[in-house]
Structure 1
């Protein structure tokens, strides 16, 4: 089998590349095509544990769901997890191999490209179609040399490219024409069409611009995707845009927006719940009065712990607990709630130790081997029938008497996390803590919301994927898409 490959590149970050790849994967799956998603290089702190035990970008796990597949490290062979403004942990085929600054990684790209092409070849052998997501913009001319994320990859595998732009940002025609202008002649020839994303209004008023764009560039507009209000799809990396306060909210949740926050998709269920007002609180904002504070995961736990203190969260948490509030720490947040965090090997920065917030009797040491697991289990307190499921991604090993009162019991026989003796502070290494309906209900009840409305995050995600595929069906040139993927003359069986 030799797959048909189509790449989606964007004029900007957050133009809609991830969403369009997700939509195309589901659209092809509906037609019986064996399709796989692919992102050669992803820079993100939202990650997932694949079925083969490695780590990939969270967006590729969602795209795998759209394609009806278990996540696999070949779907995202290079993952960069920033741990400073100039450096990142480099993950190749699911495993961390180095911490490199930008210049060193530029030199490493030849090795990274070999890993990308190896994954590409394996996918092309296994699937009928591969839908590829670029990164950032192909017009970042300073990154053109040794590029593996956009046109460098497209040139290496000789695949067509669709360019998507976000009209909701404004300047959509400038984005598209300007991006083309900054490409080489060969790269421009590789672009086979445009998609305009997040349009709201009267399409008739946009049509003159679409006609001009096609005349000016000689490229077809494949369609205009509408702004899908209320769409639930996990953000690839950037924090979701702030929403208006929920008028009917009965539980207020505050999450500090740490500089190196990781896996903030942990809070998607809380943000989606109609009775919960969940807010990310950034620098310069006073920690608000609330019912529940959740400390999220972090790629740089000690640095983010210092950030918490500098922005008043130490005092805010103490006051919050004094008035009966509840606190949860997830992964790095669990480590921050302990007595100390030690990094003797300099895994996340300069070697050293930092005092924790001191609400749980445990200490954490960061160790070179990263623990990656998909897990299932139950709560060890309150409602022990409530099931949890998610994944662990952490270098820290926590030890101390607090762990004798665990928060969770996993099906593999391990206990996880801790619950304080007064029942107000909970810590866990489990990402996805709120995702299962029973677990969400139990945690909301623990935090003070009795009789919470049920919410199934998995069902919401699936409905979002279906909406995206419906939008492709209704608003894109599916006849042209079908020809690119060889559907008119291929026997498409999954």
Structure 2
């Protein structure tokens, strides 16, 4: 029987994804065939899998940590929010439809068989499956039809380890309170707990562990000290990237924080560059004087373009361009840079056409045909290799497409303005290519760097594995996983 254990949190963003990634690397180094799994994720930061579909970027990182190819079955249900009340639903890597929250809640039961199918396919070829929950099992109002936490654990027969985040405060209450609100069957499924993100002397929380264990009956699996290098791993939440270098000595790249920002992993390598000051421009703030303005991907391009105008960022971008500043648009940001975006079928809302920023001579037509594919090619001007992936609806064409930014297997990709100061592409992830990134940053005045981005990600995963091995009871975790039915 394949060993398996599910990590659930006392709330969102308690560090479950990082814990699973670190354990995946740790157990893989011990020679185990490890597979990550998350039945339901909600994120606009997706990755294209080896089998050509979409999963949450956290599960792609966990697969990398485990040393196995990513698969659509590692995250069979992915919710990509398009508004406050609705999301695009991706099932086993493919677009299933767009649903409001109430409709999705009523249809979760029909998705459970597909989730179970994906899990069983992975478990059949694994020594151990590390399952990550979503949100918190304490959200008992969502328990009926649940496929993300205890509902899935019950369906598969999984033991659960509860993760609490001490850095946000109230960790004793959150753990004990979770036990208090859970129905007995769910409560009995929890086999232990761990404390994450402890700053300072770990021994200072010994009395806290005694209190939690006394109130819950659950054994402690350990206290994980704060791991600052987690910020060097690909971020699932855009706010995890949020930092600037106040000394002002770096090359400034300004990124407007769009409400429906998507696939912002493009920013991860740039954030690690010592000569770059990545400035995430929040609503209500003007775009500062910068060396580059980068418009990121968007889950709802037309709505985010309207928001950009509401904030007055379109005026800032045009002023930046008039001063000779560089502008890059990726995916949805690329579409915004064009002359127009047409949505004849109302894919993103009301059917119609809106005016773009007009910085590239291209026009975009949105359609229901979604592109999800890997990309491998080179920059047209320099010949430097790039690779990445595409996830988008729509096609763009116009005279600036005659000056493609990239060259791929199918020919030219993206567009460049006549003066070379504005460029855009549908390809995500291209800045992970070290030689290309260095050349590009040099062109906007950044100091040279020897950052080997991909090697650094793997080195951080190794150090994370070492960190968890030093502070968690790995033997007990494996014993718990062995009890899975």
CA distance in 2, matches of 1:314, 1:248: 24
1:403 corresponding residue in structure 2:
401
Within the candidate set 473, 477, 480, 1:477 is matched to 473
Task: Name the counterpart of 2:306.
Answer: 306
Q: Deviations over 1:98-131 (max 9, x none)?
A: 1110111112101211110000111121111100
Structure 2 Cα separation of the partners of residues 370 and 7 of structure 1 = 32
Question: How far apart in 1 are the matches of 2:444 and 2:430?
Answer: 14
Aligned-pair CA distance for 1:463: 1.6
Aligned equivalents of 2:268 and 2:246: distance in 1?
15
Residue 315 (structure 1) aligns with: 315
- What does the per-residue CA deviation read over 1:324-364, in whole Å, with 9 as the maximum and x for residues that have no partner? 21000000000000000011111122211110000101100
- Quote the Cα distance in structure 1 between the aligned partners of 2:121 and 2:241: 37
Post-superposition Cα deviations, 1:427-451, rounded to whole Å, max 9, x if no partner, equal: 01110021110121121022222x5
The SS at the match of 2:229 is: coil
The worse-fitting range, judged by mean Cα deviation, of 227-236 and 110-119 is 227-236
| 1:238 Cα deviation after fit | 4.4
- Quote the residue 1:490 is aligned against: none
Task: Give, in whole Å, the separation in 2 of the partners of 1:217 and 1:486.
Answer: 22
* Partner residue in 2 for 1:423: 420
Would you say 1:81 and 2:80 are equivalent positions? yes
Residue in 1 that maps onto 2:243? 243
Please give the secondary structure, in 2, of the residue aligned with 1:427: strand
SS of 1:174 mapped into structure 2: helix
Inter-partner Cα distance in structure 2 for 1:486 and 1:145: 27
User: Aligned partners of 1:478 and 1:407: how far apart in 2?
Assistant: 48
Distance 1:238 1:82 in 2: 14
Q: 1:9-54 CA deviation, whole Å, 9 max, x = no partner?
A: 0111110110111111111111111110000001100001101111
**1:254 Cα deviation after fit:** 0.5
Q: How does 1:412-451 map to 2 (within 5 A)?
A: 412-449=409-446, 451=447
Output one character per residue of 1:143-183: Cα deviation in whole Å (capped at 9) or x when no partner: 11100000000011110001101111111111111111111
Which position in structure 2 is the counterpart of 1:297?
A: 297
| Aligned residue runs from structure 1 range 263-274, under 5 A | 263-274=263-274
Question: Displacement of 1:230 after TM fit?
Answer: 3.1
Structure 1, 14-23 or 201-210: larger mean CA deviation: 201-210
Q: Which residue of 2 aligns with 1:215?
A: 214
Give the deviation of 1:375 after TM superposition: 1.0
Encode CA deviations 1:423-481: one digit per residue, 9 max, x unaligned.
Answer: 100101110021110121121022222x5112222122112211221122100012212
Q: Deviations over 1:59-114 (max 9, x none)?
A: 11000001101110010000110101000111111000111101111121012111
1:388 aligns with 2:390: no
1:160 maps to: 159
Q: Which moved more, 1:136-145 or 1:252-261?
A: 136-145
Show the counterpart of 1:262. Answer: 262
**Structure 1: distance between partners of 2:132 and 2:347:** 30
Matched residues in 2 for 1:249 and 1:99: separation?
45
The more displaced of 63-72 and 475-484 is: 475-484
Selected match of 2:456 from 451, 457, 460: 460
Equivalent runs, 1:334-345 vs 2, <5 Å: 334-345=334-345
For residue 186 of structure 1, report the CA deviation from its aligned partner: 0.9
1:180-195 equivalences under 5 Å are 180-195=179-194
Q: Which residue of 2 aligns with 1:5?
A: 4
Q: Does 1:369 pair with 2:369?
A: yes
1:276 equivalent in alignment to 2:276: yes
Separation (CA, whole Å) in 2 of partners of 1:244 and 1:153: 40
Residue number in structure 2 paired with 1:492: none
- Any conservation in 1 of the 2:413–2:425 contact (CA below 8 Å)? yes
- Asked whether the 8 Å contact 2:20–2:130 carries over to 1, the reply is yes
- Does structure 1 conserve the Cα–Cα contact (< 8 Å) formed by 2:253 and 2:294? yes
What does the per-residue CA deviation read over 1:405-435, in whole Å, with 9 as the maximum and x for residues that have no partner? 000001x132110111001001011100211
Structure-1-length-normalised TM-score: 0.95
Instruction: Answer whether contact 1:246 1:276 (CA < 8 A) is retained.
Output: no
Partner Cα separation in structure 2 for residue 224 and residue 241 of structure 1: 25
CA deviations on 1:289-323 (whole Å, 9 max, x unpaired) are 11100000001100100111111111111111111
Q: CA deviation at 1:286?
A: 1.4
Query: SS of the counterpart of 1:357?
Result: coil
- Are the equivalent residues in 2 in contact too, given 1:26–1:469 (CA < 8 A)? yes
Task: Give 5+ residue unaligned stretches, structure 1.
Answer: 488-494
- Match runs of 1:70-109 below 5 Å: 70-109=69-108
> What is the rounded CA distance, in whole Å, between the counterparts of 1:376 and 1:248 in structure 2?
35
Shift of 1:484: 3.1
Contact 1:373 1:393 in 2 (8 A): yes
Q: TM-score, normalized by length of structure 2?
A: 0.97
Give the paired residue count. Answer: 482
- Which SS does the other structure have where 1:434 is aligned? helix
CA contact (8 A) 2:202 2:225 kept: no
